[in-house]
Amino acid sequence: MNRSPLNPITQQHVDDYERDGVVCLRQMFDSEWIDLLRQGAEQIIADPSASGGLTGPSHGAMTSVAHNWRREGPIRDFVLGSPLGEVVGRTIGADTIQMFHDHLFHKPPQSPSIMRWHADHFWPFTGTMIPNIWIALSPVNEQNGRIEFVAGYHRFCMETGSRFGPAGDGTFHFPDFEEERDNPAFPFKFVTWDLEPGDAVLFHVDIPHFSKGNASEDLPRTGLAVRVIGDDAYWCPREGLMPVPGIDLMSTREGEHPAPSEEMPVLWSRPANEPRAFAPKNKAA
Ligand SMILES: O=C(O)CCC(=O)C(=O)O
């Protein structure tokens, strides 16, 4: 099983992520890792309530189970042993990556379950390095519910300080992106990718995303989302944000970077012989 990315993270990946807030990363994990994840996913899908994870609000016609990495098994082994941290860290320009959340999403054939347009503004952090890497465990295509993104929208959010829900000031709402699709004056482009098992999309916390139901007669659509933080992420102790299990969010210090812990272990640190990538200029709090 590979410990370093199977393919190089290129300057193109870095530039695409910075410009668009989302990038497709193809085949960074070997087939043994992906087979292991598929086994883990199958166990959860067969009996979500027995898995020890937490079913998400979108659970139902879609299997949606979070915090799987917190118990022994394939997903934990992958999170702690694979090059996931390095893949994310090198792409987003971090020097350290820490784990905090994972979420399995499985839409069986003919699942009507739509994931409505949203950005991941639920997490208890300010800052910009709070990405999500969604790893395909099945083929993913137009028919079975691939994820669509509004590229570049993170720059608008960062420039205007816009976050919705408790993460923001309560006044911010997204436009109706379904209407904007056909609006030639809309300044952002919609992007999406077909994926093979092992391919991934890595996206910024401020990037709106959406997936339609699975219209396929026979092809499930399964992906594991892993959420991590980089150097530029700071506690945001606010009621209504999703806490990290085992950490009392309201007792955390606003603006402080989460210390490495059992709940938020370091997955990757940039080797000491490489120049630092992160300069703490964006501190949000
Ligand atoms: O799997 C999907 O369709 C949605 C994934 C998602 O919304 C997320 O990972 O935040």
pLDDT digits (tens, 9 = 90+) for 156-196: 999 988 888 778 877 888 899 999 999 999 999 999 999 99
Q: Mind giving me the DSSP string for 170-206?
A: S------HHHHTT-TT-SSEEEE--B-TT-EEEE-TT
User: Which of 58, 103, 209, 214 has most ligand 1 atoms within 8 Å of its beta carbon, as the pocket-test mutant?
Assistant: 209
276 found inside a domain = no
Closest C-alpha to ligand 1, atom 8: 225
The H helix count followed by the E strand count for the chain is: 6, 14
Nearest to 120 by CA among 101, 136, 146, 94: 101
Answer whether residue 283 is part of any domain: no
Separation between Cα atoms, residue 198 and residue 35, nearest integer Å = 9
Q: Are 215 and 107 in contact (CB under 8 A)?
A: no
pLDDT reported for residue 281:
64
Number of domains forming the structure of the chain: 1
Q: Which domain holds residue 185?
A: 11-269
Q: State in Å: Cα 152 to ligand 1 middle.
A: 18
Residue 73 CA to ligand 1 center (angstroms) comes to 22
CATH of the domain at 159: 2.60.120.620
| Angstrom distance (rounded) from CA 8 to CA 22 | 17
pLDDT tens profile 97-126? 999 999 999 999 999 999 999 999 999 999
**Token couple for 72:** 């022994």
Q: Please report whether residue 21 resides in a domain.
A: yes
Q: Can you state the percent helix, strand and coil of the chain, rounding each to 5?
A: 25, 25, 50
Q: How far is the CA of 163 from the centre of ligand 1 (A)?
A: 18
Confirm whether 5 is domain-assigned.
Answer: no
The atom of ligand 1 lying closest to the CA of 118 is 7
Query: Ligand 1 mean position to 107 CA, how many Å?
Result: 11
* Model confidence, pTM: 0.95
Mutate to test the pocket of ligand 1, among 111, 211, 221, 242 (most ligand atoms within 8 A of CB): 211
Integer Rg of the chain from CA: 18
Residues 6 or more apart whose Cβ sits within 8 Å of residue 267 = 79, 80, 84, 85, 86, 97, 98, 99, 228
One digit per residue, the tens of pLDDT, for the chain of length 285 reads 999 999 999 999 999 999 999 999 999 999 999 999 999 999 999 998 877 777 777 777 889 999 999 999 999 999 999 999 999 999 999 999 999 999 999 999 999 999 999 999 999 999 999 999 999 999 999 999 999 999 999 999 999 888 887 788 778 888 999 999 999 999 999 999 999 999 999 999 999 999 999 999 999 999 999 999 999 999 999 999 999 999 999 999 999 999 999 999 999 999 999 999 998 764 544
Ligand 1 mean position to 136 CA, how many Å? 11
Rounded-to-integer distance, Cα 156 and Cα 34, Å: 35
Pairing of strands 233-235, 200-203: unpaired
Q: Where are the beta strands (DSSP E) in the chain?
A: 22-25, 54-55, 63-66, 96-107, 115-118, 125-127, 132-136, 147-151, 189-192, 200-203, 209-211, 221-229, 233-235, 266-269
Domain membership flag for residue 277:
no
Q: Is residue 204 part of a domain?
A: yes
In a domain, 164, yes or no: yes
Residue closest via CA to ligand 1's atom 10 equals: 120
Flag whether 220 is in a domain.
yes
Name the residue among 259, 254, 251 with its Cα closest to residue 284: 254
